[in-house]
Amino acid sequence: MSHRRPWPARAIRLLACPVCGAPLTARPDDTGLRCPAGHSFDRARQGHVTLLPPGHVPPSGDSAAMVADRVAFLAAGHYAGVTGALTAAVTTGGDGPPGALLDLGGGTGQHLAGVLDRLPGAVGVVLDSSRYAARRAAGAHPRALAVVGDAWARLPVRDAAVDRVLVVFAPRNGPEIARVLRPEGRLVVVTPAADHLAELIGPLGLLRVDPDKARRLAATLESHLRPHAAAGHRERLELDRAAVTTLVGMGPHARHLSPAGLAAAVAGLPERTPVTVSVDVTTWTRAG
């Protein structure tokens, strides 16, 4: 057996076979997962596991370059305030601290790791369609497990298995989120507010936040979940040109800008630029 750390057993118990839906367990040698029907899924060398039905191709996820930029930007602590706002929403209220978390579209697992640091009794699963992100997420926290999966398909998670589903700047599959949440569980969504990164939109030609985002979010969720609470987080950062470059490179803007075009635009910025970080944090419970 390699030197990789064992998967957290309680996190494995949250998972379901993507072929037949049966519970998954670890192989005796910790090299992968299997279900009672014999469907088996190998553990990658980097520590993650791919849980997709046979022949299913997930949506294209973040590229290796985007993931590298995300690692650099988050490791510098620029979004620590966002993680803090997420953690507050996850841990506030309810019947006690949540014990099982699912981070959908969780990328490198940085936000989930920050939440788990505040919940010493909890375990988590990061699910992302990017294998590059999953490789990073596999080492994000000793009580987290990383899965390559498709957030738009049936999730490889057991019914009513998790206390919290986290969605930070990622897709939201309302029916599946409602299915995997426990009866008293909650969904916590972080979305960009209208003034998020406002200082960079014009100079760099970034995508603007859809002013109808809140209504569209509600429309995708409200037949399966109901609003429970809402909060916001807003702060002002001062970013140098290198940090601005990694910030743009890690998100959807990177798909619309060439590296040369981005470099030229960033070169026109001051040495340090004030940048607004502004997000909405909404909490949802199961409907009915």
* Of 4-8, 89-93, 186-190, 235-239, the least confident: 4-8
> Is residue 251 over pLDDT 90?
no
**pTM for this entry:** 0.93
175-230: per-residue pLDDT in tens?
Answer: 999 999 999 999 999 999 999 999 999 898 887 776 666 677 777 787 899 999 99
Query: So what's the pLDDT on residue 1?
Result: 38
Is the CB of residue 272 less than 8 Å from the CB of residue 238?
A: yes
Q: Which two tokens stand for residue 111?
A: 């936000």
Residue spans of beta strands (DSSP E) within 207-246: 225-240
Query: So what's the pLDDT on residue 255?
Result: 73
Query: So what's the pLDDT on residue 93?
Result: 75
Calpha distance 71→195 (Å, rounded): 24
Q: Which residues contact 255 (CB under 8 A, 6 or more apart)?
A: none
Known binding positions for S-adenosyl-L-methionine? 79, 108-109, 196
15-45: per-residue pLDDT in tens?
Answer: 999 999 999 999 988 899 999 999 999 999 9
Residue 235: strand pairing partners: 277
Is the CB of residue 144 less than 8 Å from the CB of residue 127?
A: no
Mean pLDDT over the full length of the chain: 92
Calpha distance 50→113 (Å, rounded): 20
Q: Which two tokens stand for residue 70?
A: 């995300």
Known binding positions? 35, 39, 79, 108-109, 196
Residue 104: strand pairing partners: 127, 167
Query: So what's the pLDDT on residue 213?
Result: 63
How far are the Cα atoms of 13, 28, 166, 222, 234 from residue 92, in angstroms, in the given order?
Answer: 25, 38, 14, 22, 19
Q: Which residues contact 169 (CB under 8 A, 6 or more apart)?
A: 105, 190, 191, 192, 251
Go through 8-17 and write b for each residue having 16 or more CB atoms within 10 A of its CB, e for each that does not. beebbebbbb
> Is residue 124 over pLDDT 80?
yes
Calpha distance 277→270 (Å, rounded): 18
Q: Over the Cα atoms of the chain, what is R_g?
A: 19
> Is residue 106 over pLDDT 60?
yes
Between 174 and 213, name the one with better pLDDT.
174
Q: Is 169 left (phi over 0), alpha (psi -120 to 50) or beta?
A: left
98 CA to centre of own chain: 17
Mean pLDDT of 113-136: 97
Known binding positions for Zn(2+)? 35, 39
Return the percentage of the chain with pLDDT > 90, whole number: 77
Residue 79, classed as helix, strand or coil, is coil
* Of 139-143, 209-213, 234-238, the least confident: 209-213
Alpha helix stretches (DSSP H) within 26-144: 64-75, 80-91, 110-117, 131-137
For 141, what's the count of Cα atoms within 13 Å in the CB-facing half-sphere? 26
CATH homologous superfamily of 57-286 equals: Vaccinia Virus protein VP39 (3.40.50.150)
> Is residue 151 over pLDDT 70?
yes
Put the strands of the sheet holding 25-26 in their side by side order.
Answer: 25-26, 32-34, 40-42
In degrees rounded to 5, what are phi and psi of residue 95? -100, 25
Q: Which two tokens stand for residue 254?
A: 């990177």
Task: Using pLDDT thresholds of 50, 70 and 90, give the confidence band for residue 268.
Answer: very high
